[in-house]
Chains A and B, each alone.
Chain A
C-alpha cells in the first residue's frame, strides 16, 4: 500500500516538477531554433558555394575564348598544356577542368580527356546534364565573332561535395555549441529555483511544533503568495493548537479540583472519630462523584461535537415538542426548583431543520442556566421569534442580568461567570455555541433592555415542507 503510494508519487513528479518542465520547454525551444538556424545556414552556404563555382566556370570559359583568339594554330599544344593545370580528380578546392573547344560549325578542335562528349553547338549559358553514370554542370560560351565555341563542365557530384563541405563547416560550430548551451540553461534553471529548494528544505527540517513564520526575504516574487499562504496557515494552526493546549490544561484543572475534593473527603472520613462528621464527608464524596461525572459527560459531549463538520442526524424538529421536553428534563435535573418556566409556542409552530437531540441539549443548557443563576422568584419564558427567513428560540428571564465584562466572556470554555457557589463546569454555553455552529446558526447572549437576560438560539432554518 505504502510502496504503491510512493511510486504513484514519483512517476508524475517529474511531470509536475517546475524544474523539469522549465528545462524541457527551454531546451525544446532552443533546439528547434538551433535546427532551423542550422538548416538555413546549411542551404545558404550550399547556394553560395554553387554560385562561386558557377562563377569559376564562367571565368574559365571566357579565359579559354580569349586564349583561342590569338592561338588558333597552336590548339593541339594548348590542350596538352592545359592538361597540366587541370587539378586533381577528387580535390574539391582545385577541381579538374573539363573542356571542349570547337569552331562555329560544331567541329571539335581540342578537348580534355575526361570532358563529356557533348555537342559544342548547344545553347549558350548554363545547363545541367543529368545522366546515370555521371552528371555535369555545363557552360557553353561563344566568341563575339561566332568563330569559336567553348564548353566547360564540372562534375555535379564533385560540386555537391564541395557545397556540402562548405555548408558543413558553417554548421559545425553551431552543433558543437549546442551541448554547452543546454548545460548553461540547466545550470541557470537550477540556480533560479534554488530559493524554492531552500524553502522546501526549511519546511522539511522543521519539528512539528515549530510554527514560526517562514522568512519572506530572498523568496522569489512568484513564490511569495505561497509563502504568505503557508504563513497564514501556520498562524491558524498555531491558534488551533494553542486552543487545544489550553483546553486540555483547563480540562485537567477542572477535573483535578473535584478529584482533590474527593481525596480529601475520603481521608477525612477515614480519620474522623465522630459519626456525624464521617456521614458529612461521605455525603460530600457522593456530591464530588456526581460533579466529576457531569464534568466528564460534558467534556465527552464537547469532544464528540468538536470534530463534526455537519449534523449527525439532520431532520425536521417539532419546536413545541422540543421546548416542552426540554423544560420537563430541566425540572427533573433540578428537583426542588420552583416550576417557573413558561412558553408561548402554539401547536402550529413550524418545524426547523436540525438534529433533535442536539437542539434539545442546547435548549436544556440555556434553561438550566436560567434556573440556576436567577433568583427563585424570577420568571423564565421561552419565546419564538420569526424574522421570515430564520427562527430564533430565546430563553428570557427577568432576573438581574449579567455584568458586561462577564457577558463578553460567557461561552468561553471553562469560564464561569456569576456566583461561584453555583456549581457548574463552565462548558454548558460552549456546548451550545458548538451545536448552533453545526446548525449554521449562533448563540446570542444579551441583557434585555427592560432588565433580565436573554439567551437565544438564532438562525434556525425552517424544515423543507414534505
Chain B
C-alpha cells in the first residue's frame, strides 16, 4: 500500500518513513504543502500522513484543498499542538484521525491500519479468503491453519489483493503499491512475487486475467 507522507522536519520525516516502511508500506515523502498537492494529484494514495505545521501552505490549508477537490484519501494529521481547538480544527478540516507529537510508532502503525481498514469498507481487522487469513497487525499469514513465512513484499502484495478480493489489479497498480519513489523495481518483480505466493498458497489462489492483471481465485 502506498502512503503519502507530508513532513517538513527532515529528522522526523526520515523516522516516520522508516517506521512505515517497516510496516510494509511504500512511502512517498514530500516536504511542503505545494508538493503534497502535486503528489496527491498525480497518484492515488491509500492514505496520507500530514503534519499540520508546514512552512508556506500549512497542513489545514492542504487538507481543505484536498477535500475541496473531492479527494477521499484517508488523512492522519500530525500536530505538535494538543489543545482541543487544534484537534477539532484538524478533524473539521477533513482529517480522519490525528496524532499528537511525540507519538508512538506502534500507535501510528495501528492507526494507519484502522484508517485503511475503514477506507476499505471492512469491519474485521483480519482479512481472509478461502482458507488463507492475513492479519495486518501481527503480519501473520495462515493457510489451512498453518503459519506461512512470507517476505515483506510478498506480504504487501497479498494484502493488496486480499483487501478487494473481486477487483482485478493491473501489474503497474500492484507495482505502485509496493514501491515508493526512488526505489528500484525490476521489470518482472511482481510476477516473481506472484509466483512465490502461488507456490506457498496454492496455484489457483491468485488468478491471472489475461491482458488486465491479477485477481484472487474464486471462493470455495
Contacts and interface: CB of A to CB of B under 8 A. Distances in A.
Interface stretch (B7-15, B69-77, B161-169): B7-15
Looking at chain A's contact residues, the main secondary structure is helix
B101 interface: yes
A268 B9 contact: no
A420 B104 CA distance: 25
Contacts of A258: 9, 11-12
A434 interface: no
B18 interface: yes
Contacts of A281: 15, 18
Interface in A227-269: 249, 252-254, 256-265, 267-268
Interface stretch (A157-165, A284-292, A382-390): A284-292
Interface string A378-422: 000000000000000000000000000000000000001000110
A284 B22 contact: no
Q: How large is the interface on A (under 10, 10 to 19, 20 to 34, 35 or more residues)?
A: 20 to 34
A271 B22 contact: yes
B127 interface: no
A264 B12 contact: yes
B31 interface: yes
A262 B31 CA distance: 19
Contacts of A260: 12, 15, 78, 80, 101-103
Contacts of B80: 252-254, 256-257, 260
Nearest to A271: B22
Q: How large is the interface on B (under 10, 10 to 19, 20 to 34, 35 or more residues)?
A: 20 to 34
Contacts of B108: 264
B159 interface: no
Contact of B11 (A252, A256, A261, A271): A261
**A256, A260, A271 pick with most chain B CB within 10 angstroms:** A260
A284 B11 contact: yes
Given A249-B81, A268-B22, A291-B11, A416 B101 contact: no
Given A258-B11, A284-B14, A423-B10, A267 B105 contact: yes
A262 B16 CA distance: 11
A261 B9 contact: yes
A59 interface: no
Nearest to B105: A267
Nearest to A267: B105
30 contacts: A253-B80, A253-B81, A254-B80, A256-B80, A256-B101, A257-B53, A258-B11, A259-B101, A260-B15, A260-B101, A260-B102, A260-B103, A263-B103, A263-B104, A263-B105, A264-B19, A265-B15, A267-B104, A271-B19, A271-B22, A271-B105, A272-B18, A272-B22, A281-B18, A284-B14, A284-B15, A420-B31, A420-B32, A420-B55, A423-B10
Ranked nearest first, the 5 interchain pairs of A and B with the lowest CB-CB distance are A264-B15, A260-B102, A260-B101, A261-B12, A267-B105
Interface of B: 8-12, 14-16, 18-19, 22, 31-32, 53, 55, 78, 80-81, 100-106, 108
